[in-house]
Amino acid sequence: MRTLQGTIVSNKMTRTVVVRVDRLRRQEKYRTYYRASKRFKADVPENSPYQIGDVVRIAETRPRSRDKRWTVVAVVRRAAVAGVETEAGEVEDKAQ
């Protein structure tokens, strides 16, 4: 069973979160590294406490739907409550 670690970027769906997994890839010609990311839809229980910005561990599972093949196993680190980093990198203030 494969496990990955990533950041939750969306929790707007019922029983589903979108997790962005970043990894470093090497550009062969210039021997530099760049960050590549991929988004996975992961299954979570009903009324889950997961928020945007939480770092979670996901595990591969049987297909739950057309796009969903992962499930959230554990929370590695909770997001800060005051400011949450969005997918574009801006900090969104939740205290408004």
In CATH, what number is assigned to the domain containing residue 63? Answer: 2.40.50.140
CA angle 49, 16, 82 (to 5 degrees): 40
Q: How many structural domains compose the chain? A: 1
Q: Is the pLDDT of residue 96 over 50?
A: no
Identify whether 62 is part of a domain. Answer: yes
Domain that holds residue 11: 3-26+33-84
How confident is residue 55, by pLDDT bands cut at 50, 70 and 90? very high
Overall average pLDDT of the 3-24 stretch: 96
pLDDT at 81: 73
Instruction: Supply the pLDDT for residue 5.
Output: 97
Q: Closest Cα partner for 2 from 52, 65, 71?
A: 71
Q: What is the pLDDT of residue 43?
A: 97
Contact 52, 8 (CB under 8 A): yes
In a domain, 66, yes or no: yes
Q: Looking at per-residue confidence, does 28 or 81 come out higher?
A: 28
